[in-house]
Amino acid sequence: MHLTFGQRLLLGLYSLVLHLAFPVTLYHLIWRGMRQREYLQRWPERYAWLDGKLDLHDTLWVHAVSVGEVLAARPLVDALLAAHPGRPVLVTTITPTGSERVRALWGDRVQHVYLPYDLRSMVRRFLDRARPAIAVIVETEIWLNLYVECGRRGIPLVMVNARLSERSLRGYLPVQAMARLAMKAVTQVAAQSNADAARLARIGADPARIVVTGNLKYDLTLPDGVGAQAERWREAWGRTRPVWIAASTHPPEEDAVLEIHARLLDRHPDALLLWAPRHPERFAPVAESAAALGMRTATRRADTLPGPGTQVFVIDTLGELLRFFAAADVAFVGGSLCEVGGHNVLEPAALGVPSVVGPRTFNFAEVTRRLRDADALRQAPDAAAVGDAVLALLDDEATRARMGEAGRRQVSELSGALGRTLALIDGLLEDRRA
């Protein structure tokens, strides 16, 4: 990868700023560790001190920053393990929750460490130990030193399931020169949609290297027996009681969830809320908030499953959301009543569960639009309207069934991204061997 004098100067300025800000990384780890103890562990990995951790060769490296990206990468990693049984597969993350998902999904079948900070010396130490044959970046995670160093070493770098919202695009535009330099090192971009492809081109991706492959999350593998398990759970909880799930919620939405459930309990005292906050540090606070309002509250860790009298059940574990989606009548998918921009609406759709979302879904704009247009999802302008939609659907079994079937059809029709992405990766590996 050849850099002009101006590009080398820009890279040097970027690295200088990171070195000056380096002490902040220690503060950041301690601060996050006060909220989530796992951030106080495995610090050497974050600084690329990997003795005894990695000594690989010809590695298939997949980077998935956190839980959402790990779940999106799941079918791809499974396919890589099956197609390349003799090669090491390395999956890196940045967050402890992402790390926990990697271990839960693949255990010792993959190598796993945290991706180090984007300082040149650390990036080089990491690549010296990982020795990737290809770098696969899930969605849109751009690190200038990492990308440039992959380019210098001739490591094919492909962004898969790549997406860029209008909001994220605005964030990149002030540092567009750096983004363009990073994107110069990208061998191929596999974008989720035409709109994502256009926005990625605006921050510097070569249009000739962009291909629209679709969303890997449409190629969803449902857990074996998930439907039968949901039926057994519903029988134990009370088959006819209304059950809704509030999934991936954030603090600004928690009061709305409680208000909606209070309205539902006034109409149906036996109603059950399954509640899965997005971040683990919110598990205990939401359980405490529900109990403080007099709602009979249980949790996955303490009580395993709801009882017939449980009114709020907090799912304070990771990796089980699909199973609880399957056991719900209606899903509210969070991040959509606040500026987060929404979360994955495909999972309930794949299970035939109608969803309700708020107005802010820019992270999943196209998917939300397609499900809404197919009448598999209801989008509401505010929290009160979300509550109205949830309550109306819980009282209308025929509409729920129709919407659920429409959701399944959409997921089935839009699948195929996995095959297209695998073909792209295999082509790059063949080109490297040639």
Where along the chain do the CATH 3.40.50.2000 domains lie? 226-413
User: What is the per-residue pLDDT across 44-91, written as a single tens digit (0 to 9) for each?
Assistant: 999 999 988 888 999 999 999 998 899 889 999 999 999 999 899 999
Where along the chain do the CATH 3.40.50.11720 domains lie? 43-219+416-433
Q: Which CATH number fits domain 226-413: 3.30.70.20, 3.40.50.2000, 3.80.10.10, 2.60.40.10?
A: 3.40.50.2000
- Please state, for a pLDDT cut of 90, what percent of the chain lies above it: 76
User: What is the per-residue pLDDT across 212-242, written as a single tens digit (0 to 9) for each?
Assistant: 999 888 887 788 899 999 999 999 998 899 9
Among 162, 161, 100, 152, which residue's Cα sits nearest to residue 127?
Answer: 152
Contact 180, 6 (CB under 8 A): no
Amino acid 405: pLDDT:
97
Contact 70, 76 (CB under 8 A): no
CATH number of the domain located at residue range(s) 43-219+416-433 in this protein:
3.40.50.11720
Amino acid 379: pLDDT:
98
Amino acid 434: pLDDT:
64
Mean pLDDT of all residues in 325-345 = 96
Position 433 pLDDT exceeds 80: no
Confidence of residue 318 (pLDDT cuts 50, 70, 90): confident
State the catalytic residue, choosing from 45, 69, 100, 149. 69
Confidence of residue 33 (pLDDT cuts 50, 70, 90): confident
Amino acid 39: pLDDT:
81
User: What is the per-residue pLDDT across 87-141, written as a single tens digit (0 to 9) for each?
Assistant: 999 999 999 999 999 999 999 999 999 999 999 999 999 999 999 999 999 998 8
Would residue 347 show up in a list of annotated catalytic residues for this protein?
no
Residues 6+ away with beta carbon under 8 Å from 261: 244, 271, 273, 290, 295, 311, 312
Please list the residues that pair with 244 across neighbouring strands. Answer: 273, 330
User: What is the per-residue pLDDT across 271-303, written as a single tens digit (0 to 9) for each?
Assistant: 999 999 999 999 999 999 999 999 999 999 999
DSSP H helical ranges for 107-193: 120-130, 144-153, 166-172, 176-184
